[in-house]
């Protein structure tokens, strides 16, 4: 080995035979990351119910922000366990699944999908992929698989296992090599969570295909001035709390709730008292031991809970600007600004 040879561990790339599929399913069940082919592009999969596993996806992509992910399932029955279907969405699913169509639907309480997977939204993106390797992996793992396109943030989506290995090798636990992704373009994203169907991202399932079933279907465009931005890809609607947020707090002001990170032993309440004496409903800790993956997994759940706690404001302790901490801080800053601007 020459001195210049990188010693970074390369991720194992396997042909998707039974053994590799079983091993990959096990990796997913244990909270690991598996890149796998779909008919659109390759995805980086993790257990959609496991927030810490999903946090690793964002870190692998080097994405300094949390965007909601698509949950890949084996069929309509599994989709109905996590998303709220009605006659219209059921009809669309029956016609286009398995295939390159993602549906945005109301997220079911108790469906088990991690808050980080949906980035705190009350909707969930679901899709049944058609690629046999993706289908087998989901079936054997027996769990919903959150998977964004397998490319580092800002780079082209991967259509071959080779490209995945080149750009993400070392950051994943396994790459299932299933040949080139046939379509080479991400799935169509159709929002059926509101009254009128809206295409949020165009793809192989075309507006014409959808209109034959649904009647008129709008395609979301960039936010128009004065209008609330509708959606993702271009203009994603983000979860934001209603309660004002104060970042980098070193103490708590009376009336505030506390979003803590690490030990709160030395946090005081202005005017007297300790943060540890706040009513239980007013304090949430992202990670008592200061683990950033745990913090990412808890972020949206904790924000939701504090938002409902009756606090006048949420004080947030400082979170390190490293690794996945960058994405946590980015989201908190955005939430703080959103409340200030009333959006
Ligand atoms: O073809 C595909 O869809 C690939 C393969 C791997 O399945 N996946 C993919 O995932 O392209 P990703 O994360 O790169 O894109 C997901 C898109 C984003 O534009 C995201 O904002 C949107 O779906 N999305 C996810 N959940 C959403 C939600 N609840 N509401 C609105 N948009 C959502
Ligand atoms: Mg993508």
Residues in contact with 329: Cβ distance below 8 Å, sequence separation at least 6, in sequence order: 319, 321
Atom of ligand 1 nearest to the CA of 72: 7
Query: What is the percentage of the chain residues whose pLDDT exceeds 90?
Result: 80
CA of 69 to the centre of ligand 1 (A): 5
Using 50, 70 and 90 to split pLDDT, how confident is the model at 3?
Answer: very low
Closest ligand to C-alpha of residue 237 is 1
| CA-atom Rg of the chain in angstroms | 21
Distance, in Å, from the CA atom of 242 to the CA atom of 43, rounded to the nearest integer, reads 34
CA of 288 to the centre of ligand 1 (A): 31
**In this predicted model, what pLDDT tens digit does every residue of 90-147 receive, in sequence order?**
999 999 999 999 999 999 999 999 999 999 999 999 999 999 999 999 999 999 999 9
Torsion angle of C-alpha atoms 12, 17, 18, 23, degrees rounded to 10: 10
CA of 122 to the centre of ligand 1 (A): 15
CA of 118 to the centre of ligand 2 (A): 15
Q: The whole model's pTM is what? A: 0.89
Of all protein residues, whose CA lies closest to atom 13 belonging to ligand 1? 148
Q: What is 225-270 written as a DSSP string?
A: TTSPP--STTS------SS-EE-S-SEE-TTEEEEE-S--TT-EET
Q: Tell me what pLDDT residue 208 has.
A: 93
Pocket test for ligand 1, best of 97, 116, 148 (most atoms within 8 A of CB): 148
CA of 313 to the centre of ligand 2 (A): 34
* Residues paired with residue 315 on neighbouring β-strands, in sequence order: 246, 258
Q: Tell me what pLDDT residue 237 has.
A: 62
What DSSP designation does 57 have?
H
The most confident of the ranges 44-48, 157-161, 268-272, 324-328 is 44-48
Distance, in Å, from the CA atom of 101 to the CA atom of 119, rounded to the nearest integer, reads 20
Sheet architecture: strand order including 174-176: 13-14, 174-176, 34-37, 42-47, 145-146, 70-72, 123-127, 101-106, 188-191, 198-201, 218-219
What DSSP designation does 324 have?
T
Q: In this structure, are residues 188 and 46 in contact, taking their beta carbons and an 8 Å threshold?
A: no
Q: What is 66-132 written as a DSSP string?
A: ----EEE-SSHHHHHTTB---HHHHHHHHHH-SSSEEEEEEBPTTS---TTTTTT-SEEEEE----H
What Å distances lie between residue 328 and 59, 148, 268, CA to CA?
11, 18, 24
Distance, in Å, from the CA atom of 303 to the CA atom of 313, rounded to the nearest integer, reads 11
Distance, in Å, from the CA atom of 343 to the CA atom of 341, rounded to the nearest integer, reads 6
**In this predicted model, what pLDDT tens digit does every residue of 152-192 receive, in sequence order?**
888 888 999 999 999 999 999 999 999 999 999 999 999 99
pLDDT at 75 > cutoff 50 = yes
Pocket-forming residues, ligand 1, beta carbon under 6 Å: 38, 40-41, 43, 67-70, 102, 104, 118, 121, 123-125, 127, 147-149, 186-187, 189, 200-201, 231-233, 236
């Amino acid at each position: 080995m020459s001195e210049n040879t990188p010693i970074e561990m390369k991720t194992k790339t396997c042909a998707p035979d039974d053994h590799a599929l079983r091993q990959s399913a096990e990796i997913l069940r244990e909270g690991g990351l598996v890149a796998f082919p779909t008919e659109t592009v390759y995805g980086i999969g993790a257990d959609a119910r496991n927030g810490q596993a999903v946090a690793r996806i964002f870190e692998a992509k080097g994405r300094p922000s949390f965007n909601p992910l698509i949950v890949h399932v084996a069929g309509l029955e599994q989709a109905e366990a996590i998303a709220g279907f009605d006659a219209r969405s059921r009809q669309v699913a029956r016609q286009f699944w398995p295939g390159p169509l993602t549906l945005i639907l109301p997220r079911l309480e108790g469906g088990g999908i991690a808050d980080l997977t949906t980035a705190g939204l009350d909707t969930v993106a679901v899709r049944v992929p058609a690629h046999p390797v993706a289908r087998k992996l989901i079936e054997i793992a027996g769990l919903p698989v959150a998977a964004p396109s397998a490319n580092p943030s800002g780079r082209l989506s991967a259509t071959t296992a080779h490209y995945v290995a080149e750009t993400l090798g070392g950051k994943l636990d396994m790459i299932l090599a299933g040949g080139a992704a046939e379509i080479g373009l991400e799935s169509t994203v159709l929002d059926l969570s509101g009254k009128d169907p809206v295409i949020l991202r165009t793809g192989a399932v075309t507006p014409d295909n959808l209109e034959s079933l649904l009647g008129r279907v709008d395609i979301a465009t960039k936010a128009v001035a004065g209008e609330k931005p509708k959606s993702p890809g271009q203009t994603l609607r983000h979860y934001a709390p209603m309660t004002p947020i104060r970042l980098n707090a070193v103490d708590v002001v009376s009336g505030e709730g506390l979003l803590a990170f690490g030990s709160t032993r030395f946090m005081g309440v202005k005017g007297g008292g300790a943060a540890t004496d706040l009513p239980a409903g007013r304090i949430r800790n992202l990670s008592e031991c200061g683990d950033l993956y745990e913090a990412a997994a808890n972020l949206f759940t904790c924000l939701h809970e504090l938002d409902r706690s009756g606090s006048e404001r949420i004080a947030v302790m400082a979170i390190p600007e490293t690794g996945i901490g960058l994405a946590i801080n980015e989201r908190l800053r955005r939430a703080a600004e959103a409340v200030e601007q009333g959006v």
